[in-house]
A and B are shown apart, each in its own frame.
Chain A
Amino acid sequence: MQTNVQNDPKHIIQALGLTLRIGSTQLLDDASLAISTGERLAIVGPNGAGKTTLIRCLLGLTQPNSGSIKVNGCLLSQTSRAELARQIAYVPQQLAERISFTAIEFINMSRYAQGSGAGIHQLDEYGAQAIENAIERTGISHLKHQSLSTMSGGERQRVNIAAALAQQTPILILDEPTAHLDPKQRELIHELLTNITQDQEITLMVITHDLNWASANFDRIIGMKDGQIMIDAQPNAFMQKEVLMQVFETELLLHPHPETGRPMVLPNSSTNLQLKP
């Protein structure tokens, strides 16, 4: 099931027929997708499905063998790195512990493309305001002058997101933002992202393994497998036993959320029983 990607001006991102093969591994296989302005899109799929490769291509970090990508109407191949950095902000999976910059130093760096480009550059008032807002939104005022190397995983992840927000781009791409966090920190990050997209006209693309979060908070879910986009559907249509079986090749138990009514994945009791003889 493929999306019909057309040249529509309301699409802020359009990718057409992305294919990437390295050696004998097919990382992307004719993947196409289009995202509208303000849309919240979750990308799910088993490990090695090509999710990260897909977003790396959209970010211009990996070159596909064939296919084309347009961001805000401009071909990615003809867009400079600085121009792309004014369109898309990227939150990598996690920041390494070895980074000893303070939070504010790290966030300041996000204004690179907004500055003069090279040379000695001071933040203008507008940039300083953007940074202040990002710090406030992510609730890290108290961590401003702390080194990233002394922060907890959750704190570091909030700084990671604050830095991307300070870039003030219309598109935000996150790679498994809660992969290494405990349940409380995970909730905090989920809430933070929900608030951001509710208040601002930001197009959000998130890779996640948290199907329930994807179901509850996103407009669309894309299911990938073997480098292909298998399913591109709204949460209610995506969260079906057969669809999940097709993407993950495992049977998942579904139940409607008691409050929102959206389908949720539950732990499969029979699998658990097998582990405890």
Chain B
Amino acid sequence: MTDRNKFKRLIIMLGLTLACALITPWLGHHLTSPNVILRPMADDVDAIIFWQIRLPRVLLSLLAGAGLSLGGVVFQALFRNPLATPFTLGVASGASLGVTLAIVTGIHFSLLGLSGTSLAALSGAIISIVLVYGIARATGKTSPSTMLLGGVAISFFFSSLILLLQYLSDPGSSFRVLHWLMGDLSRASIDSVLQLAPFVISGIIIVSTLHRELNLLSITDDIAASRGVNVQRTQMLLFFAVSLMVAGIITVCGPIGFVGIMAPHICRLLIGPNHRFLIPASILFGASFLALCDTLARNISSTAEVPVGIVTAILGGPFFLWLLLSKNRLAS
């Protein structure tokens, strides 16, 4: 595939993402009249549903999808491991432990417009980032493989603590924790969009400027260094930028699975391994994929919403397998 063709594919993906952003806010059990578009400040039911519920939710899913997919791309390149996800370094389990503690202990508070669970999630995520980095530093080398092992160990430890807390808590709290763990966009509001946007946008900017470094790092650290990359500094910058972005996403949406591991692979099949194209492709694909999944999650059942994390896995798995098989058939 030539660079020209890759550009064409990116333009098509951009078009599809825009279409997705424009269409999905209109889809739902309640049909809103088209003229709500003209009155964002009105307080009738249609306007409130469109402007205060659906639009923030679509924007939130676009932001979260873009960030999770991009996080997967970066970690898979840094760890040179196709199974790496944005959650590999324990960010998700740290956040989940924070939320579990907040729910089980029943502490209610809010600070700077963030709810108690959000603050607990953010603190948990940041603690796990600091722990993983600290473990790697303590062993004397902050190499990706040390951090990977540290992250996996922290994840297992935190996950068992979560299970223990759930086991000891009452069924109500236990269910709330479980629901949060599945990832959920139903708490979306304009405020949550504004809270998340700086995390995701700064993550996207930092990663985008490092596409050449990511290409080299995805080969080996030695090649990257011998070609002139300051390997350790770049790795740390990417590690912190992505971890903070993912911490922001988990804080607002919970640990939505699957997007972060599969979207990068799907994009690599569509556009190749060059991060110059892979980064924008994964941002666009992740954003539109999560927006579509959430639209389905809102509409599958007329009585209750399905957590979006379930839809991403049910839809994404077969789609990925189909792409993998058809690509192999074409190649042979």
A binds B: yes
A interface residues with partner B (beta carbon < 8 Å): 59-61, 80-82, 84-86, 88-90, 92, 95-96, 98-102, 105-106, 109-110, 112-113, 115, 118-121, 145, 167
In terms of DSSP, what is the predominant structure of the interface of chain A? loop
A134 to B273, CA, bound (A): 23
Q: Which residues of B contact A90 (CB under 8 A)?
A: 222-223, 226
Most chain B Cβ neighbours within 10 Å, of A82, A86, A88: A82
Shortest C-beta distance, B218 to chain A (Å), equals 8
Q: Are A101 and B222 in contact (CB under 8 A)?
A: no
* Interface 9-residue window, one of B34-42, B143-151, B209-217, B285-293: B209-217
- A85/B228 contact (C-beta < 8 A), A112-B216, A119-B209 known: yes
A182 to B251, CA, bound (A): 56
- A118/B210 contact (C-beta < 8 A), A61-B225, A90-B222, A109-B215 known: yes
B interface residues with partner A (beta carbon < 8 Å): 2, 80, 209-213, 215-216, 219-220, 222-223, 225-231, 268, 272-274, 276
Q: Are B274 and A105 in contact (CB under 8 A)?
A: yes
A109: contacting residue among B210, B216, B225, B268, CB under 8 A: B216
The 6 closest A-B pairs by CB, nearest first: A113-B228, A85-B228, A90-B226, A82-B228, A112-B227, A112-B228
A169 to B295, CA, bound (A): 55
Q: Which residues of B contact A99 (CB under 8 A)?
A: 219
B212: contacting residue among A86, A101, A121, CB under 8 A: A121
Q: Which residues of B contact A88 (CB under 8 A)?
A: 226
- A109/B227 contact (C-beta < 8 A), A92-B220, A92-B222 known: yes
20 contacts between A and B (CB under 8 A): A61-B222, A81-B229, A81-B230, A81-B231, A82-B228, A84-B228, A85-B227, A89-B226, A90-B222, A92-B223, A98-B80, A100-B273, A102-B272, A105-B215, A105-B273, A109-B215, A109-B216, A112-B212, A112-B229, A118-B213
Shortest C-beta distance, A176 to chain B (Å), equals 14
With A82-B230, A100-B273, A167-B227 known, 5 other A-B pairs at CB within 8 A are A90-B226, A106-B219, A109-B219, A118-B209, A145-B2
